[in-house]
Chains A and B, each alone.
Chain A
Amino acid sequence: MFDGLSDKLQATLAELRSHGTLTEDDIDRAMREIRLALLEADVNFKVVKAFTTTVKERCLGADVVGGLNPGQQVVKIVDEELAALMGGTAAGVAFAPRPPTVILLAGLQGSGKTTAAAKLALHLREEHGSSVALAACDVHRPAAVEQLVTMGERAGAEVYRREGETDAVAIATWALEETRRQGKDVLIVDTAGRLHVDADLMDELVRIRKATRPTQVLLVVDAMTGQDAVNVAQEFAAAVQFDGVVMTKLDGDARGGAALSVKAVTGKPILFASTGEKIDQFERFHPDRMAQRILGMGDVLSLIEKTQKEFDEDEARVLERRMRKGEFTLEDFLSQLKQMRRMGPLTSLLGMIPGFSGQQLRNLKVDERELDRVEAIILAMTPEERRRPELIKGSRRLRIARGSGTSVQQVNRLVKQFDEMRKVMKRIAGGKMPDMAALLRQGR
């Protein structure tokens, strides 16, 4: 009943595809399914209505009815409309023509502003080489300043705080002066969480905006938000005319319909995706890819990009050669496993591979603790043993098991699986990177 949006749409459209021709009734039935799926994904009721109306009109207009391969055409139309709704290509931060660039973050309580402020600081430092300062303007929540100071430290950004000052506007004004004085490129202003219906706090936000004249105002929105996302976005848009959105907690399994809703009602693009609590789990949001992902077509581009960023290319080439020759060792395996894990939880990576729909992912639980165990076992081996696992017998096995806090059986299993894996690799002629996911599944 509660399958992912992509699963739902795929099921509906697969059904359409299997018919030779389509009637208007068929299309209506598909639209009902899509409507339900979108609602379950928390896309706003009104946005859903408008969306299905547009898609239906286009389907009828495009002569899908009675045409050749109508299912494909419907898929294409749904995909295109979804992409159009999500917005075109990815946009980034807009810099001020003359520094400092000021970025103001706003949003509901607990949406992820403070975390996003630090993440954005790190992002700007790493991707644009900017010097970044953070302004601690949340004077309401207990320990909000301490939180930003700690996060700022992790991001390598200075935090401008003023102890004892209870006026957020005064802090913002002072922080901007400080930014100029210290010649920083960017100032990111963290603000208290506030409800869009809280007149006093919304007024405070407006005054912070006036005082700092931000280059960009960003609304921070939790991906789990339901129907209310539209109210929130509209009110914040009216008060502070935000320029873009940061979507947070996208690492969960929320289908993120709020993204569609916010974009549809405000027209503002979603610029960044926050995908975890760690400071580097932050990336540019790709609307086109997101739409494809919703349809279950996989987010191949994101995966490739991620892989490229994390893998050392030369190393990869060397590895590839050794795999082909069957010279792949446990040492190589360990280093690859580590690289793989550096990119984030395996399940989030697998989600980007086409064909891995939400449902399959849920069944395939990659147990991160199992991977910890594998790492521990390999680390407990001598370099010689890692190169020649066939040495691992008898007392060596016992030593490794003890050293890694595992059992002899577990050591045995790993050695056996590795052996299997090596055979598979040799078979893959001109083998590229091995399909880690498949191997892991085999190995369990």
Chain B
Amino acid sequence: MAHDWNDVFLLDRPEREAVAEAPEARGGFLRRLRESLGRTREALSAEVQATVAQALDEESWERLEEALIMADVGAVTTADVVERLEREATDTGLSGEALGERLIELLTEQATVGDGHIDLRHRPTVIMVAGVNGTGKTTTIGKLAWHLVQEQQLKVVLGAGDTFRAAAVEQLAEWARRAGCEIVTGDDGSDPGAVAFEAVRRGREQDADVVIVDTAGRLHTQDDLMAELAKVRRVLDKQLEGAPHETLLTVDATTGQNGLRQARSFSEAAPVTGIVLTKLDGTAKGGIAIAIARELGIPVKLIGVGEQLEDLRPFDPGNFARALLEP
């Protein structure tokens, strides 16, 4: 599973010449990296261990359960995991710190499913981003494009497939400007499939490495809009067989148990290959990702940790599992 960016992307091209980066972006990136590492280290420390290191009375089991439920892991999954741990504890006499580590291991296992890579070996690789309204699709695309352009020196084309929401195109256009990549747009209210089609056509024409298609936010309960999504997918395949190679679903870490339904319905409309868990910079833990991984076998591939260009990260199941138990 991915721990850093080199593990996320599968590339088979010789390294391109490094593009000089804007100095302020670089500074910002390093500062943020330091900050986030600092936070993770803190998280690993005393507090996590404290919960489970205490005597294993009824109360501490309850406290574990509470921590997981409060992290949006869900009652059913929580009961399952805690029960397994309890059994192991009785069988093996595991206790204290070892038990804490075992719980984190269990959760890490649960979060580790499928293939966590993003395969960029197609030319161009087409990535479609879908999700419920306001979960962070457009922002994720901006951050991802920036990363691919600036850090991986790839050529990227964006497709403004959200022709519905007010100023959605302008929003993505601003991200394209920041990332330094081209964008293909259509008129407001025009057919999103046509924009997606054109974006891939343009990507091929320009010999781009990656084409990323934005889509309008939609609730998974809206059958007509889910059908529209399936159609965009078909249209992409028509322009380039096998496209989209990657369908990413953005899930807001703040989302509760509804997230599982979201993932299920979106998968039915357009097979989802990975989750982007956004807004993990808040206090929400995104525990629903565990339920999604367990029930649907869809891995989290990327996480969003802010609103700036550099606030996208590879997903690390171990760190994620630890964070779930943080107070």
Contact = CB atoms under 8 A, between A and B. Distances in A.
Closest CB pairs A-B (n = 5): A226-B256, A110-B134, A42-B256, A142-B174, A150-B166
A45 B72 CA distance: 10
Contacts of B173: 143
A197 interface: yes
A254 interface: yes
B257 A151 contact: no
A1 B224 contact: no
Given A110-B252, A111-B134, A146 B170 contact: yes
Contacts of B281: 195
Contact of A146 (B136, B166, B279): B166
Interface stretch (B3-11, B48-56, B215-223): B215-223
A41 B167 CA distance: 33
A188 to B, nearest CB: 16
B171 interface: yes
B171 A143 contact: yes
B256 A258 contact: yes
B78 to A, nearest CB: 9
A252 interface: yes
B82 to A, nearest CB: 14
A249 interface: yes
Contacts of B134: 109-112, 222
Contact of B258 (A142, A196, A224, A345): A224
Contacts of A226: 72, 254-257, 259, 284, 287-288
Given A147-B165, A226-B72, A228-B254, 6 more contacts: A39-B75, A144-B167, A228-B285, A255-B258, A277-B133, A369-B227
Contacts of B135: 110
A141 B171 contact: yes
Contacts of A224: 132, 252, 255-256, 258-259
Contacts of A258: 256
Contact of A45 (B69, B142, B167): B69
A226 B287 CA distance: 10
Given A147-B171, A369-B224, A45 B257 contact: no
A2 B70 contact: no
Contact of A142 (B166, B170, B287): B170
8 contacts: A109-B136, A110-B134, A141-B307, A254-B256, A254-B258, A277-B164, A365-B223, A368-B223
User: SS class of chain A's interface: helix, strand, loop or mixed?
Assistant: loop
B93 interface: no
Given A108-B254, A252-B219, A227 B70 contact: yes
A365 B283 CA distance: 37
Interface in B121-137: 132-136
Interface in B61-75: 66, 69-72, 74-75
B307 A140 contact: yes
Contacts of B171: 141-143, 146-147
Contact of B282 (A2, A195, A249): A195
Contacts of B74: 39-40
A253 interface: yes
A252 B166 contact: no
A231 B171 CA distance: 29
A222 B257 contact: no
B25 to A, nearest CB: 16
A258 B254 CA distance: 11
Interface in A343-365: 345, 347, 365
Nearest to B218: A277
B71 A40 contact: no
A36 B75 contact: yes
A367 interface: yes
A40 B281 CA distance: 24
Contacts of A232: 254, 283
Interface string B213-243: 0000101111110010000000000000000
B69 to A, nearest CB: 5
Contact of B219 (A108, A149, A151, A249): A249
A142 B173 CA distance: 9
A226 B258 CA distance: 8
The winner among A140, A222, A369 for most chain B CB atoms within 10 A is: A222
Interface in B186-231: 217, 219-224, 227
A228 B287 CA distance: 11
B167 A146 contact: yes
Contacts of B168: 143, 147
A225 interface: yes
B260 interface: yes
Contacts of B222: 345
A390 to B, nearest CB: 33
Given A141-B307, A196-B283, A42 B166 contact: no
B159 to A, nearest CB: 17
A71 interface: no
A287 interface: no
A255 B256 CA distance: 10
Contacts of A345: 222
B26 interface: no
A251 interface: yes
Contacts of B307: 109, 140-141
A87 interface: no
B22 interface: no
Contacts of B223: 365, 367-368
Nearest to A146: B167
Contacts of B217: 277
Interface in A210-256: 222, 224-228, 231-232, 249, 251-255
A408 B234 CA distance: 28
B256 A143 contact: no
A100 interface: no
A70 interface: no
A183 to B, nearest CB: 27
Interface string A122-162: 00000000000000000011111011011100100000000
A110 B136 contact: yes
B256 A257 contact: yes
Interface string B134-147: 11100000100000
